[in-house]
Structure 1
Amino acid sequence: MSAEAVTLENWMRPPHNVVGYQRVRELIPTAVVSRGEGPAFELVPGGPEPRLHGLDQGTRTDALVVLHRGRLVHERYENGMRPGTRHLCMSVSKSITATAVGSVIASGALSPDDDVCAIVPEFRGTGLEGATVRHVLDMRTGTREDITTLDLQRAYYATCLWAPPSSFPESPGEDEDSRSHLWRLTQVRPHGGDFEYRSTLTCVLGILAERATGLRVPELISHHLWRGLGAEYDAEITVDRSGNALADIGVCCTARDLARLGEVLRRGGLRPDGTRVVPEGWVADTLEPDAGQAAAFTRNGSPWLTLPGAYYRNQWWVAAPRDRGGVYLALGIHGQLLFVHERAELVIAKFSSWPEPWNDNLARASIQACMDISSDIWEN
């Protein structure tokens, strides 16, 4: 597939998405997420090559980086990808954004117990009234997801500049920018109940963090995560016509830098040289569910992550809390994945361009392959 054949109209559809996900900034406005100055932390090759259980080819992989005990034990690129190629993260962006917000919380500028409307008064009178930052982080607000049909999704993508101007007459297609619909959120059940996966809540989290820090989302991720990470390359994030970053789906980075994030988290928030990047308490908090959190996940979360006892916290999918190994994932449509297994000392970063947004068979095969690789390492 030639780059010239990829347009704003087709870049998310197969076969064009294979190229489109690597060339986002040629199609959509983006903002830089700066890595800052200084050297990247080195990914040193070494250690036995893992058995991949079909993760490389069986799940339509564009890029795959596997670290064991911080060493690079496997690296593979397909479809024109290279170590320095940025790839769209899709909803892995949620976990990246939330991890940066974890540092904002540690700084005292924001608290999980804060009332959403106390931070952003414009949410008074909407479905977010009475919700806390914790409800947003764990996707347990009682708000309804408004973008529920294909037509509404297309209209929303147009306002995000991910698609040509919408020809759909519904009001979301006339929204000024990607955040306009957030001020119309309605409540359909009590806050703090069942988990329900909603991209809108990561966008709300971005607004909360911006108000708390005075930084826009690209600068916030840079300042509170990417600069300290030891990333090799700047990341980037798509922005709408008002300059609002898509905190939920818009981050683009290299597979190596995504793996570096996983390795820092596996080390409790530390780089290999001991530099603190992510607050230790944030990683521990993610791996220690509140009472009833796993039960709240069961109704709506199990179709996404089928492992027993799984839950969603701090915008990470947690397969096992720390006392059962510490296994957590960032997941994105079309096959994006970051997998961390603390007890196996394993990190896996994977980019893909699946032909459809979500394929249960491919998703389950990818997650199971990661678990099987972990078992191989753990048992040996």
Structure 2
Amino acid sequence: MTEMAPLSDLMWTRGYTDPAWVRRFTSSGRELSPSRAVNRGREGSRALPEAPADLGALEITAPGGGTLKLPELFAAARTDALVVLHRGAVVHESYLDGFEQHMPHLNASAAKSYLGLVAAVLAHEGVLDRTAATSAYVPELAGTAFGEALIDDLLHMGTRMSYAGRPYDKPVEAQRYFAVIAPQLRPFGYSGPTTIREHLLTARATGEPGVGFRYENGNVEALAAVLRRVTGLSTSALLSELIWSRLGADEDAYYILDSEGTEAACGGFSATARDVARLGEMLRQGGAVGDRQVVPEAVATTIVSGVPDGYARHVRFPAAPADSPASLSYHDLWWILNDPHSSFMASGIHGQRLFVSAELDLVIVHFGSQVMSPAVPPAPLVPAFLQIGRHLAAGA
């Protein structure tokens, strides 16, 4: 008897496993879809000091006991860019496979964390009520899986739903979401939603909100709809006004858009590695860039310390095996590593990472184009980041 391929290996997940598609998707977003700039502001870029360190001979211990040197890690992770800041200075910077310093790269789901930061700022300022139901801000979401969830549930992935009556399968739903915003990804005969708004309206609750953790793009898109409603700004303008224009960025960032002109807030953001490193350094410095407080210190310093009790603790990465330990926490759309260094991270598919550790004086940005398949072991990025940080701390 011929065994059928699992659902997660069928056409909806081609985007994870085709190397050519992954590379194009991560590096050419605005060539594939309409886009809107996240303006860097008029003040000009803020220089990043440089203090080069030789990391080439550093041996990184991989899960299972093997070791890798940095070039081997790059190969395993299909690395496009790596920027390492220690104490605010660039100690290492690499660009591979034709990628260059000035090029924006897809951040994928790392963008969720940036939106979570915006929401946390607005909540701190009293513009957003974390305890309000989503439908109080966006009445048209009433009756959906997101409408009766609290804003805090969205910020901690606390909803359970199915879309259009389908059994929930995360890899399939992620690719269906991409098909909503990118017509070229729709299979022949596609008759599903063609906008993010339509997609959210098909979500029906399959469990009470605020009870369990399930990583799902719809939470972030519902949150983005709330933020647009309370501020009157597009997602791009809001991120620019509150954060991007205050970092001293080199380049505009951008979001890809659906056919209604709505930003793909959960993963359609692209920026340069250096500019994302500037974002991480601002957070490492308690929300400040030089003598300017960009994000309230209370917001920046509670990304790690403010993790609520309950379903946001003891979670695992979405792609992690079900039998792996649930050792992470999740707060305001950031991954909290619960390590001895108070590290936290924005993480996206195919190897996108913004890693911040105030105790190690460390910020690392990794951009990659790694396929996602059971046949391709994930690169040990987080262990590598921690070893790089400890190595730099010991040398300092």
Please give the TM-score of this superposition, normalised by the length of structure 1.
0.87
- Matched with 1:7 is none
With over 3 angstroms needed to count, the CA separation of the structure-2 counterparts of 1:325 and 1:304, relative to structure 1, is: farther
Q: Provide the residue aligned with 1:336 in structure 2.
A: 352
Change (3 A) 1:265 1:360: farther
**Equivalent runs, 1:17-56 vs 2, <5 Å:** 17-46=22-51, 48-50=53-55, 51=58, 53=60, 54=70, 55-56=73-74
Q: How far off its partner does 1:256 sit?
A: 0.4
Residue 124 of structure 1 and its aligned partner are, at CA, apart by 1.7
The answer to whether residue 272 in structure 2 is matched with residue 254 in structure 1 is yes
Return 5+ residue gaps in structure 2 as ranges.
1-13, 61-69
Q: Distance in 2 between matches of 1:160 and 1:305?
A: 33
Deviations 1:56-79 (A, max 9, x none): 344221100000000000000011
2:154 maps to 1:136: yes
Number of residue pairs aligned between Structure 1 and Structure 2: 364
Match of 1:239 in 2: 257
> Counterparts of 2:294 and 2:143 in 1: how far apart (Å)?
37
1:87 corresponding residue in structure 2: 105
Please identify, of 70-79 and 216-225, the stretch whose mean Cα deviation from structure 2 is larger: 216-225
Aligned to 1:368: 383
Pairing 1:286–2:303 present:
yes
Give me the TM-score of the superposition, normalised by structure 2: 0.83
Deviations along 1:170-205, whole A, 9 cap, x unmatched? xxx332412212122222222211211101111111
Partner of 1:3: none
2:182 — aligned with what?
A: 161
CA separation in 1, counterparts of 2:260 and 2:121? 26
Please, what is the CA RMSD of the aligned residues? Answer: 2.7
Is the contact between residue 314 and residue 328 of structure 2 (CA under 8 Å) also seen in structure 1?
no
Distance 2:32 2:171 in 1: 22
**Which residue number in structure 1 is paired with residue 118 of structure 2?**
100
1:265, distance to aligned residue in structure 2 (A): 0.8
Q: Aligned to 1:209, which of 205, 227, 237?
A: 227
What secondary structure, in the 3-state scheme, does the structure 2 residue paired with 1:287 have?
helix
SS at match of 2:20: coil
Shift of residue 41 of structure 1? 1.8
Q: 1:359: Cα distance to partner?
A: 7.8
Distance 2:372 2:314 in 1: 28
Residue 20 of structure 1: CA displacement? 4.2
User: d(CA) in 2 for partners of 1:152 and 1:231?
Assistant: 34
Q: Measured at CA, do residues 150 and 307 of structure 1 come closer, stay the same or move farther in structure 2, by a change above 3 Å?
A: closer
- Preserved contact between residue 102 and residue 278 of structure 1 (Cα < 8 Å): no
How far apart are the structure 2 equivalents of 1:359 and 1:305?
18
Q: Unaligned regions of 5+ residues in structure 1, if any?
A: 1-9
Q: Percent identity?
A: 30
C-alpha displacement at 1:258, in angstroms?
0.8
Q: Using the TM superposition, name which of 67-76 and 31-40 deviates more.
A: 31-40
